[in-house]
Chain A
Amino acid sequence: GAVVSQHPSWVICKSGTSVKIECRSLDFQATTMFWYRQFPKQSLMLMATSNEGSKATYEQGVEKDKFLINHASLTLSTLTVTSAHPEDSSFYICSAKSGRSSYNEQFFGPGTRLTVL
């Protein structure tokens, strides 16, 4: 149980285009989902916290107009990278918070590798 999926797993796009990444909790309802970014040999950096039915909370330094987050249902959150540029190339990972665990564990998706040409 507690499986989180992401789609696509890998995407290549041209500079200036927008890319949408989906994060789904497959066997549980997630009121909260988190979006992280991971550059090579660096730690996961939290970008934003997404709560179902409300606006996402962005971390300092993350442009909310560039990284659009929608959490329309208890099993789906999307991250749209608008007008992507090469510096946005990274590994994007989502996690979903399950209320079933005694310590509110986050379950991570497999990640989406974005390459912007």
Chain B
Amino acid sequence: QKEVEQDPGPLSVPEGAIVSLNCTYSNSAFQYFMWYRQYSRKGPELLMYTYSSGNKEDGRFTAQVDKSSKYISLFIRDSQPSDSATYLCAMSASGGGNKLTFGTGTQLKVEL
């Protein structure tokens, strides 16, 4: 069993839709949870960072962490074609600057 599970998609939605992306994990030591966006042939770019459980909002993006269920989510409101990318969840037991364990990534396509 992988430490982090993420549905690879692809996920296709119409422009303006609300997108929900999710990851589950098995390692209870994870305390730091991140969402990265990766465009084709590019390196990942940090979108959201959350410590422990709770919600965090930044513009159109909302990250949720439920440590009791070992489940994290990223919501994208009013999705745009420019949001089309692969979204990777990542987790760490000791901070975002240390060893990260990534999910496989979910490929998202927002269509006009």
Residue contact B97 to A103, C-beta cutoff 8 Å:
yes
Residue contact A105 to B43, C-beta cutoff 8 Å:
no
Q: How large is the interface on B (under 10, 10 to 19, 20 to 34, 35 or more residues)?
A: 20 to 34
Chain A residue at minimal CB-CB distance from B49: A103
Residue contact A104 to B41, C-beta cutoff 8 Å:
no
Residue contact B97 to A111, C-beta cutoff 8 Å:
no
Residue contact B103 to A97, C-beta cutoff 8 Å:
no
List the count of A-B residue pairs having beta carbons below 8 Å apart.
64
Q: Does A42 contact B (CB under 8 A)?
A: yes
User: Which A residues fall within an 8 A CB radius of B?
Assistant: 4, 6, 32, 34, 41-46, 49, 93, 95, 97-98, 101, 103-111, 113
Q: A43-B6, A105-B96, A106-B96 are in contact. List 9 more A-B contacts (CB 8 A).
A: A43-B88, A43-B102, A45-B102, A46-B100, A46-B101, A49-B99, A93-B43, A97-B98, A103-B32
